[in-house]
Amino acid sequence: MSRYTEHAVSSWMQADGPDSDIVISSRIRIARNVSNEPFPMLATNQQSEEVLNRVASVLKDEELKVIGDFDLVPLTGMSELEKRVLVEKHLISPNLANEARNGAVILSGNEAVSIMVNEEDHLRIQVLYPGFQLKEAWDVAGRIDDIFESVVDYAYDEKHGYLTSCPTNVGTGIRASVMMHLPALVMTQQMNRILQAIQQVGLAVRGLYGEGSEVMGNIFQISNQITLGQTEEEIIDNLHGVARQIIEHEKAARQKLLNESRAKLTDRIRRSFGILCYAEIMDSKEAAQRLSDVRLGIDLGLIEGLSPKVMNELLVMTQPGYLQHHYGRPLSPDERDAHRAKLFRERLNPSGR
């Protein structure tokens, strides 16, 4: 068992961040490729192994050690459940877990930095920060990128910028995103209008696990779509400005619910809390919605004695991969629903097991 799959929540998630009642995390991801090597999907086993060795050599760099302690974690030999847990913790992508040849991930001790090797691109440098800290995450990601570029010759074109496997990443190769909990905008039926406005300014909206994932539990991932024709700073500033407006809209919507529908809102939140404490069966979609209600109740002071960090942990612990990993065996969908409910009872209401 990898030590990175022992705990549901990475230690960086235990820290507080600005506007963390609305912004769960800020992420910067940088796509890079090694010059004169085929993209991973076209590489032979020998070529992908050579890329892995070249990338691994950077771990000896003294400047990288200043940033933190890093481990190279090969995915070869790792169980499917362990890889799925890493996906659910946002440390690797489904693509790396399922299809990579000589795939690996370089992880910092607190798991705030994960560098995927031989995914869609040779390198995917990812930095995750709690709360609304896009610019802080970019500072660290940029430093790491500079260190790798000083050792590894990147594929770069003077006209097009950094060359990537997918044309949508060509240019800066940067994807910036914020993970936001927006229940009040959904409840007040403002979300569709806001989503349309977001897309009109060149941003994408996805679910908890990025592209192709369903929005559940009122959690939205908002990121840039354009990587060519803008500088990294322009991309981040644009997303930062839009995210700041969404934060203010969500705060206003929460206050409106408190002012106009406090009893109804409190009833909904406490019903969800009661169901989480006592239910015998719980599917993942209902679990996400109940967790969203309770998290909102904690943030608004309608539920006391619980930390939103517990909600973050339960969000990961009750995902299919982690559930099966936690109980040490594959589980059928019905068994997962029963064990998910059991896990909620154990964590939220020990006397009601």
Pick out the residues of the known binding site for ATP: 25-29, 90, 124, 175-179, 206-211
Helices 284-299 & 232-278 angle (0-180, nearest 10): 100
Phi, psi of 11 (to 5 degrees): -65, -25
Which residues, 6 or more positions from 18, have their beta carbon under 8 angstroms from its beta carbon?
Answer: 131, 132, 133
The three-state secondary structure class of 292 is helix
List for the chain the helix, strand, coil content (%; round to 5): 50, 15, 30
CA proximity to 174, closest of 111, 231, 106: 231
C-alpha span between 303 and 231 (Å, rounded): 44
- Detail the residues annotated as belonging to a binding site: 25-29, 90, 124, 175-179, 206-211
Please check whether residue 243 is in contact with residue 180, taking contact to mean a CB–CB distance below 8 angstroms: yes
* H or E, element range at 309: helix 308-317
Task: Give the strand pairing for 174-181 and 23-32.
Answer: antiparallel
Which residues, 6 or more positions from 287, have their beta carbon under 8 angstroms from its beta carbon?
Answer: 276, 318, 340, 344
CA distances in angstroms from 270 to 59, 138, 298, listed in the order given:
49, 39, 11
Reading the block at residue 84, the tokens are: 């799925």
Phi, psi of 171 (to 5 degrees): 115, -110
User: Which DSSP category does 207 fall into?
Assistant: B
